[in-house]
Amino acid sequence: MSNEFAGKTAIISGAAGGIGLALAEAFAEQGMNIVMGDIDTQALQISADELRAKGFNILTCALDVTDYAQWEDIVTSAKAQFGKVHMVVNNAGVGGTPGKIEDSEHETWRWVMDVNVMGVLYGAQACVPAIKEHGEGGWVLNVASMAGMMGMPYAGAYCASKAAVVSMSESWVAELQPHNIHVSVLCPAFVKTRIHESYRNRQQKYAVTSDKRIDKDKLKAGAQAATRAVESGIPATMLAQRVLEALRSNQTYIYTHPNYRKVTSARFKAIDHAFVDAKDSDVVGHLINDDIVTF
Ligand SMILES: NC(=O)c1ccc[n+]([C@@H]2O[C@H](COP(=O)([O-])OP(=O)(O)OC[C@H]3O[C@@H](n4cnc5c(N)ncnc54)[C@H](O)[C@@H]3O)[C@@H](O)[C@H]2O)c1
């Protein structure tokens, strides 16, 4: 098999199920060696065995993305088994618990931020040096969400974490381009996975100890709405084929739901309109022709 992926090695976090597993299979079908990491080691072994039975080269590693030492271990294991690392897919993510600002549990925010944001930083920090060192180039694929492109009521933690992933990815595009490392950020709307059951893998260190006044009925209604939305989503296998297609055309932003364009268009229009307001301002309007300062 000859294509840009064949014979190369990808490390994928959260690969035991859902989007991570679908990406693992799609990249394996292209001839890649796949290193599957997940916090749920039981599900990981079952999924890995299914892929091995199809003849793919699979290595599994226990990986909690919030633990940097485990990221270092997975890179060491990947190099020992397959020689080089060419791609990291920062896919592991959790949905958190929807709720009002005043009901937000600090432990839940920390869990969402640690997994969804720090987990992506750690993944890049551990894998990028390994991709740089062989000089053949490669890929960083960060899994954000349409939630990173728009705010949603009662979902501040998830949206903020995914907006951070979009922003980190944008920052890394130019940084890694000289190394021939292509950075992409995947922004799906709903995909049929178990994201609405993320609490199943919530680590003990994020157990809720604070006494928040959570309205249990509202929480249940929110959970039911999330379940309905996720179950109406596209299959993860369709998403994986779309990712291959978009990587082949070097897309930075990878969208899986073109119908959501109206959402980002409305947001960008509102942002742009706010500049018109600033230009007309008595206080700051005179800055309109000043040079833009960057570093
Ligand atoms: N399903 C959707 O509708 C949707 C939409 C947009 C973005 N996403 C994103 O896609 C990514 C994958 O989610 P999914 O939908 O496949 O959900 P999922 O719950 O089916 O799969 C997530 C995987 O990540 C693993 N995981 C959870 N915490 C982990 C940790 N600390 N360390 C390592 N692994 C961990 C889980 O065990 C699971 O295997 C997430 O980043 C999610 O935010 C999902």
Name the average pLDDT for the chain: 95
Q: pLDDT-based confidence at 219, cuts 50/70/90?
A: confident
Euclidean distance between CA atoms 271 and 102, whole angstroms = 27
pLDDT value, residue 214: 64
pLDDT above 90 covers a percentage of the chain that reads 92
pLDDT value, residue 64: 98
pLDDT above 70 covers a percentage of the chain that reads 98
Inform me whether the pLDDT recorded for 1 exceeds 60: no
Euclidean distance between CA atoms 30 and 6, whole angstroms = 6
Q: Integer distance in angstroms from the first to the last C-alpha of the chain? A: 44
pLDDT in tens, 243-262: 999 999 999 999 999 999 99
pLDDT value, residue 74: 98
Highest averaged pLDDT of the listed ranges 11-25, 95-109, 208-222 = 11-25
pLDDT value, residue 226: 87
Q: Which residues line ligand 1 (CB under 6 A)?
A: 13-14, 16-20, 38-40, 63-66, 91-94, 115, 143, 145, 188, 190-191, 193-195, 198, 201, 230, 233
Mean pLDDT confidence for 8-35: 98
174 CA distance to ligand 1 centroid (A)? 27
Inform me whether the pLDDT recorded for 209 exceeds 90: no
As beta bridge partners, residue 253 has 185
Mean pLDDT confidence for 147-151: 97
Mean pLDDT confidence for 266-295: 96
14 CA distance to ligand 1 centroid (A)? 6
Inform me whether the pLDDT recorded for 217 exceeds 80: no
Q: What share of the chain is helix, strand, coil (3-state, %, to 5)?
A: 55, 15, 30
pLDDT in tens, 190-201: 999 999 999 999
Query: 229-260 burial string, b = 16+ CB within 10 Å, else e?
Result: ebeebeebbebbebbeebbeeebeebbbbeeb
Inform me whether the pLDDT recorded for 179 exceeds 70: yes
Query: CA torsion sign, 25 to 29 to 32 to 33?
Result: positive
DSSP for 152-205, please give it.
Answer: -TT-HHHHHHHHHHHHHHHHHHHHHGGGTEEEEEEE-S-BSSSGGGGGGG--GG
| Residues marked as catalytic | 158
Query: CA torsion sign, 73 to 79 to 80 to 82?
Result: positive
Euclidean distance between CA atoms 88 and 125, whole angstroms = 10
* 17-26, 96-105, 253-262, range with the lowest pLDDT: 96-105
Q: pLDDT-based confidence at 211, cuts 50/70/90?
A: low
Whether 143 contacts 115, CB under 8 Å: no
Q: Which fold has domain 9-259?
A: Rossmann fold (3.40.50)
> β-pairing, 9-13 with 138-143?
unpaired
102 CA distance to ligand 1 centroid (A)? 26
Higher pLDDT, 182 or 217: 182
Mean pLDDT confidence for 260-269: 97
Burial class (CB in 10 A: 0-12, 13-18, 19+), 178: exposed
